[in-house]
Amino acid sequence: MTAALVTGAGQGVGRGVALALAGAGFGVVVAARRAENGEPVAQEIRDRGGRAVCVPTDVTVRDDVVAAVAVARTEFGGLDVMVHNAFSGRNSPYQLEEATLPDWDRASRSAMWASIYCAQAASDALAASGRGRYILVSSAAGVEGSANLPLYAAVKAAQRAFAKSLAREWGERGVTVNCIAPVAVTPALETAFKTNPALRGRLEGRTPLGRLGDPEADIGSVVAFLASEAAGFVTGQTIACDGGSFTGL
């Protein structure tokens, strides 16, 4: 039995990753802050014949993360793949000098504190797996910076440096640590399209493949690859899955 835990799995990229990992045969802990978001994803997986359980999880609360990993153990007998995707922060453009400490706190806690909590909670299980994977959802903004979302760029960069360090730290246990940098159509983005219809064309226009990613088919599939035996020699890396919009790595 192989099992995966995905944070922020109630919608968007996290949901796509959960569906793709379930499709690849993993039992999936759908960790979502709100059960009303996570439960339908778990149900969708079960309806497709997969294994899934929803665990309401606030990733900024250490005990919540520990409890979600415990469910992976009881439901699926262990944990092979930890995916930290959840993020909460300002998502409309602002100047760095306008950022407040509560803005910082939200971004810092959901991205980095939670990355550490997930690592700590999953550490033993991933080592015991023999094929452990820790995958963090970062962003190209963490490489090139952002004139719109500076704190987002900062914490996404932090996750990359954290993953590189942890890849070195956990290498001797055979656990790999990688990031993805996705661009996908998410509910948040679709809301933005409604208020700013030109945005979709602008985003598609700077993507060589001419379209935005699908969370399951385009992003989840890459996570499923990183989770597979085939990617066992890949660690400390950031894989962009963005239609080629960022080529500066």
Partner 1 sequence: MAGVLAQQLAYVTAIDARFGRGLADALVAAGATLTDSLERVDVLVIADIDSVERPVEAFDDDAIDMAWDRPVRDALTLMQAARAGGASRVIVVTPAVSLVGRARLSAACAAIEAKRLMALSAARQWRAHGVTVNCLATSLDPHPESIAPTVVFLASPASHYLTGATLSLDGGSELAL
Task: Say whether 152 is catalytic.
Answer: yes
**Greatest CA span in the chain, whole angstroms?**
50
Residue closer to partner 1 by CB (options 163, 180) is 163
Which residue lies nearer to partner 1 by CB, 175 or 212? Answer: 175
The residue range among 13-21, 33-41, 166-174, 207-215 that interacts with partner 1, by the rule CB under 8 A, is 166-174
- Using CB under 8 A as the binding rule, whether residue 153 contacts partner 1 is answered as yes
| Contact with partner 1 (CB under 8 A) among 9, 68, 135, 167 | 167
Q: How far apart are CA 162 and CA 175, in angstroms?
A: 14
Minimum CB distance to partner 1, residue 53 (Å)? 26
Exactly one of 21, 69, 119, 185 binds partner 1 (CB under 8 A); which one?
119
Q: Please report whether residue 116 would count as binding partner 1 according to CB under 8 A.
A: yes
Residues in binding contact with partner 1, number by CB under 8 A: 43
Neighbour-count burial for 124-142, b at 16+ CB within 10 Å, e otherwise: ebbeebebbbbbbbbbbbb
159 binds partner 1 (CB under 8 A): yes
Q: Where do contacts with partner 1 occur on this chain (CB under 8 A)? A: 62, 95-97, 99, 101, 104, 108, 112-113, 115-116, 119-120, 123, 141-147, 149-151, 153-169, 236
Active site residues: 152
